[in-house]
Amino acid sequence: MVGNVYTGGCLCGRIRYRASGKPSDETHCHCEICRRASGAAFVSWATFKAADFVFTKGEPARFDSSEIAFRHFCPNCGTQLTFQFHKSPQFTDVTLASLDDPGAITPVDHIWTNRQIPWIRLADGLPRHVESRPSGDE
């Protein structure tokens, strides 16, 4: 295997995964769908090539979180694990907080900050995008 290898999984341990290669589009997403899906104020993501991502243990559940995308999560403990657009199955987004080493990948910006919860105070100096990135990703 070439490059970095990242492992992660859910809270209860039923679902495990491995991602490799170079992640991209590392971001904090403040959209309402991420918020409700996770029960958290925002969700941090990185994108991998789908071919470089594999579930190594267990069978995740799948939920169509909108008409354009679906998410994988643990059917036992509920941890959110991945996000994928129907139109771009060649990419899989992974929740950074489910990594065994969540500090290994650092987000570079915030997206959907028009949905940011008022009591969140950000001082990380990262670029903020009111909606998705200008590139149109998520």
46 makes contact with Zn ion (CB under 5 A): no
Q: How far is the CB of 31 from Zn ion (least distance, A)?
A: 3
Residue pair 78/60 in contact by the 8 Å Cβ criterion: no
Among 12, 41, 68, 120, binds Zn ion (CB under 5 A): 12
Q: Which residue of 6, 17, 29, 38 would you call a contact of Zn ion, by CB under 5 A? A: 29
CA distance 35 to 131: 15
β-bridge partners, 61: 73
Residue 29: phi and psi, rounded to 5, are -105, 125
Q: What phi and psi, each to the nearest 5 degrees, are found at residue 56?
A: -100, -10
94 binds Zn ion (CB under 5 A): no
Whose Cβ is closer to Zn ion: residue 24's or residue 76's?
Answer: 76
Binding site for Zn ion (CB under 5 A): 10, 12, 14, 29, 31, 34, 74, 76-77
